[in-house]
Chains A and B, each alone.
Chain A
Amino acid sequence: MSTETLMASVRELLDAAEPVLGERANRIAPLRDRLDGPLRVAIAGKVKAGKSTLLNALVGERVAPTDAGERTRIVTRYRNSHVYRVTAVPWAGEPVELRFRRTERDLDFTLEGHRADDIHYVDVEWPAGRLRDLELIDTPGLASVSDDVSRRTRRFLGADEDGPGGADAVVYLMRHLHPTDVSFLEAFRDNIATLGASVNAIGVLSRADEIGSARPNAMVAAERIAARYRADPRINGLCQVVIPVAGLIAEGATTLRQDEADALRAIALLDVPAPADLLVSVQRFTTLPAPPGLEPDVRARLLDRFGLFGVRLAVELIGDGRVNSAAELADALELTSGIHELRHVLRGHFASRAAVLKARSTLATVWALADQHGGPDGRRLRERIRDIELAAHELVEIRLLSQLRRGAIELGPAEPEARRILGDDGADPTIRLGLTDVAAPDEVRSAAIDTIARWRITAQDPLLGRAARELVEGVVRSCEALAAPT
């Protein structure tokens, strides 16, 4: 079954479910919207991990609150729209439109007397190109399992792995901690406790620019840390990749204003004080006397926006003549920040699989509705869902991958290849088969056939457990799909 057929059968299922679900019928329309809408990505992590900054960088506008107000304690959903609108969606009752105001720092609104506990989420509609194929969900910082705020996050993200989740994928922000630190896995704490291992998770080593004291090699050091994290079996079991991102630089780059670029340029071209003297410390940067246009408050704002590392980087880029305009500066900063890589992975890992992920969460929701509805209609719906699930190998792949990741199935040295074939590194056939991306269709086909032969031998191992046998058969089936002429 191809992805298109899968989506078609899910849509047919929704059509069939609507008339028989009675009072629950009104739950179907949102599911249909969801199926047609963009992928929903939640951003999670500890308080102060830099969630809002990263979200702004992904949106390309300063919309998320970066201070510690009540708004950082509720779930906020940001989606593309043709209007600017902010709506509070309560757990019970009608949505309420909220008044809002755009400031230089963020999008300012209050809950207008509603209690944070009563609000399911706040819906922010915002015309932004970057939100077109990605909807972002800002979650309150995960603190402790018993914490109110993190409970709200968990309620939104979904009760369990197969349950009706509010997000299709999760980006976890991690701090730089030593792997033997008891709080090393804190970013995933709630995930471990309630969500189960996720096939759709990415780790981000946030605030990468602060590593190594804002020296030029900060991003190199951050990459080394990320590599170490990726190699850690615990992290590896929880998310596909770990990417270092300097959130502040990314945000600054995507929202760079001309006056800021001008000020940075003026600093880079200063004679007295020399840029190097100015950039020695934040104290000198904000206090040394400088010509008009670079008053201390102007510099303090630059520091606030880009951090010392960002300002140093920008001044270096301009001073070396590597960038000659605000646009070029923004591009160069963005490149260093690691946000490109994050977007790339979001596209590669999530977007390419978006349809399958959405189908999966939709089926799970309908299953829950049918279960609640009960009776022969409910039973028939559940049977139908079971049929779809069995027919769609894409769904099987996701389930098997999830089991492999969390260690429910042990496969020994063959595991990396199994994960790759199941699409762990990306859904593209060349990636799955470990070929270069220029491989011709013939090569792909013959590689797939070779691989099938090898895995068939593995499948005959009499010592394989039931779960492992199912997995190996799944791998063979994935290869067969790759070998089939398109």
Chain B
Amino acid sequence: MKVCPGCAVTNDDASVECRSCGAVLDAAASSAAPGFPPPVMAPPRAPVGVPPMAPAPTPVAPATAALPPPIPSGSSGGPATAPPPLAPVTAAIELAERSGRTDLAVRLRSNRDQLECTSVTVAVVGEFKKGKSSLVNALVNAELCPADPVDATVAPIAVKFGEELGVRIARAGDEGAPAAAAGLVDVVRYGSEAGNEGNHLGVIRIDITVPRRILESGLVLLDTPGVGGLESATGVLNLAALEQASGVLFVTDCSQELTAPELAYLRAASERCPAIICVMTKLDLHLTAPDMAARNRRHLAEAGLDGIEVVAVSSALHLLAMTTGDLVLDRESGFGMLADALHTMIWQPARRRGLADAGEDLAELAGHLSLPIEAAQRATDSEQAASETIAALTEARDRVRQFRGSSAWWQRRLTEGMEELAKDLGRDLDATMTGLAATVDRRIDDDEAIDDLVFEGWVRKVAIERVVVHYEMIGRRAAALVDEIDQQFHTLDRAAALEIEAVVPTARLADVRVNADQRLLSDGVARRMVRSPRGYGGGGMVLVSSAVGIATTLPWIPLLALPFAGLLARRAYVDDRDRRRDAHQDDLKRQAAMYVDEIAGIIADDTGLTVERVHRQIRDHYAARAEQLERTLQQSIVSAERARAAEPSRVVPPGDRATVVDVASTARLLVGAPVPS
């Protein structure tokens, strides 16, 4: 029992919050055995007021809470996930500010955040009632997600690190407005069938922050609704959203082997996100678990999915072990293995990618910082060198200026490409919806004894499937356009870089690029696109996919909740009389057609908005890049001219040069390029 420090009400041991006043309860105070420290927990808080951050975590972390400790690698070759040195970046921020480059300072700051911590989203997906929410709760050792034997989760719930417990609920209709702050009780009210059957409240997403060490590394656990099974509209949406996840925990249980639909889902999921762990829950209930796991490994191998790790766990045992401090029991729960797999298969690669992305940015930033210094250096060599340097820089600056102009080639190409895309999308949507209507009619004709609700679920599913394909087309086409423009920009970038190559030996942008591309290529279509504008420090965020992001921007909720024009007929449709059946079929057809029309309307509107948004983002991104480049070149010209007239030692403080060299070396280290001695 835990007694609430705020209102003295007695709560269950498993409670995180007081059932009466909502204060956070302290697990450590009540039930942890000596020698077995509980995971990081906020101290009890009074009903009113803001609680302070938990005191520093306990000396020895339990096996599972050790995830993911920054394990020094280095022996394994390749880029390490060891904590990168932040001092050079801090020095660079200072340098940027001193030289009036606040734009670079902003980027450097977010770069430092990115080096400190990579956000790693792990989607938890699987069939209805397999224990997804329980798994998330067990991983963070707190009952945050509603886990009930009857009521299912109806909206995605993201659990991430925060210095105090917090709940935010985003609902359809209030896009743009900040998500409403709420308590844990509301998670049940809005996130599960207990209070929100069929998600009639239009919840898009629930975010929970909680002070847990396992999440401190940037891990975000995304519990997804399993309503309707994998082969439903919700299932299709979950699948589409995997594009933006770093990893997937596919949840099934130890009671039976993977089914054909589950394998099909895994195959589709692995195309979107290759880092998948198949978690078999309810280990504590099935003696046959090892046998089932072996069968599942065989099934996966036969399906060509042998990269998927299979781990059997028991959330119940893990939670019990955390309460009683029974280390042996915790080993039996399988969570140690799950934590290891999560660490090595999902977190580490994502972290590596995050660091490499940050390194790439850092290399570019180093270039921006070093160019004025090297230009000045060069200008002091001789009068001729000074003239040549200034001439080259001026030429590069003028080219960049041209590039920035609204009549520049890339601007025209982008506008043209987007107009084309909008036109093609319109045609595609028409064809898609006509095809959908025909498919629906055929199904009605073929299946004489179709159940109305089953039919409705099926229509929703095929409709959403096609909508996803439609949006993926926006993403693909926009990405191709970005590639084209990027190449142009890259040439420009490279041209500027080449001009400067002689003077800037430490940061060859082109070099870094090539290396990065090789890495990015292996990561699938989405990741090949350029980074988002704010994402200079944002790492894995992808320009186009952030604009077309299936999970974030689609009007999903309206689509899912779109009324099926009174179709919800009360009964299973069974009728022997042809006339009645025909009438019923016509009715179904009419209502399905209305539904399809309505979807088409919503999607057509949203497609237009999305194309505009993508256009704007791409344009702003390149405009910002070009502006920065111009500023750097201008600054370099000025510093070269100053150097021409003055003593070199007065122009370039030796410390600045060292800072730039340090930053460039750090960048090289991060992207895995050899560091020149």
Chain A residues with CB under 8 Å of chain B are 48, 161, 176-185, 188, 192-193, 196-197, 210-215, 217-218, 221, 224-225, 228, 233-234, 237-238, 280-284, 286, 300, 303, 308, 406-408
Chain B residues in 8 Å Cβ range of A308:
284-285
Known: A212-B149, A406-B574. A178 touches B285 (CB 8 A): no
Cβ of B358 to closest chain A Cβ, rounded Å: 42
Q: Which of B286, B451, B577 contacts A234 (CB 8 A)?
A: B451
Which residue of the partner chain B has the closest CB to A303? B287
Q: Which of B316, B449, B580 contacts A193 (CB 8 A)?
A: B449
Check if A192 sits within 8 Å of B574, measured CB to CB.
yes
Check if A284 sits within 8 Å of B332, measured CB to CB.
yes
Chain A residues in 8 Å Cβ range of B314:
281
Chain A residues in 8 Å Cβ range of B232:
180-182
Cβ of B148 to closest chain A Cβ, rounded Å: 8
Which residue of the partner chain A has the closest CB to B128? A178
**With the chains together, A218 CA to B152 CA distance in Å?**
16
Cβ of A305 to closest chain B Cβ, rounded Å: 13
Q: In this assembly, does B570 line the interface, its C-beta being within 8 Å of a C-beta of chain A?
A: yes
One of B223-231, B243-251, B623-631 at the interface: B223-231
Contact string against A for B residues 425-461, beta-carbon threshold 8 Å, 1 for contact and 0 otherwise: 0000000000000000000000001011110011000
**With the chains together, A215 CA to B131 CA distance in Å?**
14
Which residue of the partner chain A has the closest CB to B255? A210
Check if B571 sits within 8 Å of A407, measured CB to CB.
yes
Chain B residues in 8 Å Cβ range of A176:
129
Chain B residues in 8 Å Cβ range of A282:
284-287
**With the chains together, A303 CA to B285 CA distance in Å?**
10
For the A-B complex with A281-B284, A407-B569 known, give 19 more contacts whose Cβ atoms are closer than 8 Å.
A178-B129, A183-B229, A185-B451, A185-B572, A193-B449, A197-B572, A211-B149, A211-B150, A213-B131, A215-B149, A233-B572, A234-B453, A237-B570, A280-B320, A280-B329, A282-B287, A284-B332, A406-B574, A407-B572
Cβ of A281 to closest chain B Cβ, rounded Å: 4
Check if A180 sits within 8 Å of B285, measured CB to CB.
no
Check if B332 sits within 8 Å of A180, measured CB to CB.
no
Check if B575 sits within 8 Å of A408, measured CB to CB.
yes
Which residue of the partner chain B has the closest CB to A214? B285
**With the chains together, A16 CA to B287 CA distance in Å?**
62
Q: Which residue, B131, B232, B577, has most C-beta atoms of chain A within 10 A?
A: B232
Check if B285 sits within 8 Å of A182, measured CB to CB.
no
Among B327-379, those with CB < 8 Å from A are 329, 332
Q: In this assembly, does B175 line the interface, its C-beta being within 8 Å of a C-beta of chain A?
A: no
Check if A233 sits within 8 Å of B571, measured CB to CB.
yes
Chain B residues in 8 Å Cβ range of A225:
149-150
Check if B227 sits within 8 Å of A180, measured CB to CB.
yes
Chain B residues in 8 Å Cβ range of A283:
283-284, 287, 332
Check if B228 sits within 8 Å of A180, measured CB to CB.
yes
Chain B residues in 8 Å Cβ range of A286:
287
Q: Which 3 A-B pairs have the closest CB atoms?
A: A212-B149, A407-B571, A281-B284
Chain B residues in 8 Å Cβ range of A224:
150
Q: In this assembly, does B576 line the interface, its C-beta being within 8 Å of a C-beta of chain A?
A: yes
Check if A181 sits within 8 Å of B228, measured CB to CB.
yes
Check if B285 sits within 8 Å of A213, measured CB to CB.
yes
**With the chains together, A225 CA to B193 CA distance in Å?**
12
Known: A197-B574, A408-B575. A300 touches B287 (CB 8 A): yes
Check if A177 sits within 8 Å of B128, measured CB to CB.
yes
**With the chains together, A214 CA to B284 CA distance in Å?**
10
Chain A residues in 8 Å Cβ range of B576:
161, 196
Q: Which of A221, A233, A406 contacts B575 (CB 8 A)?
A: A406
Q: In this assembly, does B409 line the interface, its C-beta being within 8 Å of a C-beta of chain A?
A: no
Which residue of the partner chain A has the closest CB to B286? A282
Q: Which of A182, A221, A233 contacts B229 (CB 8 A)?
A: A182
Chain A residues in 8 Å Cβ range of B282:
213
**With the chains together, A171 CA to B528 CA distance in Å?**
57
Chain B residues in 8 Å Cβ range of A210:
255, 285
Chain B residues in 8 Å Cβ range of A228:
150
**With the chains together, A399 CA to B150 CA distance in Å?**
35
Q: Which of A179, A193, A212, A284 contacts B453 (CB 8 A)?
A: A179
Which residue of the partner chain B has the closest CB to A235? B572
**With the chains together, A76 CA to B651 CA distance in Å?**
99
Check if B572 sits within 8 Å of A237, measured CB to CB.
yes
Q: Which of B229, B317, B451 contacts A281 (CB 8 A)?
A: B317
**With the chains together, A215 CA to B454 CA distance in Å?**
32
Known: A193-B449, A281-B314. A238 touches B150 (CB 8 A): no
**With the chains together, A380 CA to B357 CA distance in Å?**
90
**With the chains together, A407 CA to B570 CA distance in Å?**
8
Chain A residues in 8 Å Cβ range of B229:
177-178, 181-183
Cβ of A276 to closest chain B Cβ, rounded Å: 10
6 A-B pairs with CB atoms under 8 Å apart are A182-B228, A184-B454, A192-B451, A213-B316, A233-B570, A308-B284
**With the chains together, A185 CA to B453 CA distance in Å?**
10
Check if A182 sits within 8 Å of B231, measured CB to CB.
yes
Known: A180-B228, A234-B571. A192 touches B449 (CB 8 A): yes
**With the chains together, A210 CA to B314 CA distance in Å?**
15
Cβ of A219 to closest chain B Cβ, rounded Å: 11
**With the chains together, A178 CA to B580 CA distance in Å?**
29
**With the chains together, A220 CA to B414 CA distance in Å?**
61
**With the chains together, A218 CA to B228 CA distance in Å?**
22
Cβ of B52 to closest chain A Cβ, rounded Å: 36
Cβ of B622 to closest chain A Cβ, rounded Å: 45
Among B273-293, those with CB < 8 Å from A are 282-287
Chain A residues in 8 Å Cβ range of B329:
280
Cβ of B259 to closest chain A Cβ, rounded Å: 10
Which residue of the partner chain B has the closest CB to A160? B576
Q: Which of B149, B152, B226 contacts A221 (CB 8 A)?
A: B149
Chain B residues in 8 Å Cβ range of A300:
287
**With the chains together, A85 CA to B532 CA distance in Å?**
78
**With the chains together, A282 CA to B316 CA distance in Å?**
12
Which residue of the partner chain A has the closest CB to B150? A224
Check if A180 sits within 8 Å of B449, measured CB to CB.
no
Contact string against A for B residues 14-50, beta-carbon threshold 8 Å, 1 for contact and 0 otherwise: 0000000000000000000000000000000000000
Chain B residues in 8 Å Cβ range of A181:
128, 228-229, 232, 457
Check if A182 sits within 8 Å of B454, measured CB to CB.
yes
Chain A residues in 8 Å Cβ range of B449:
192-193
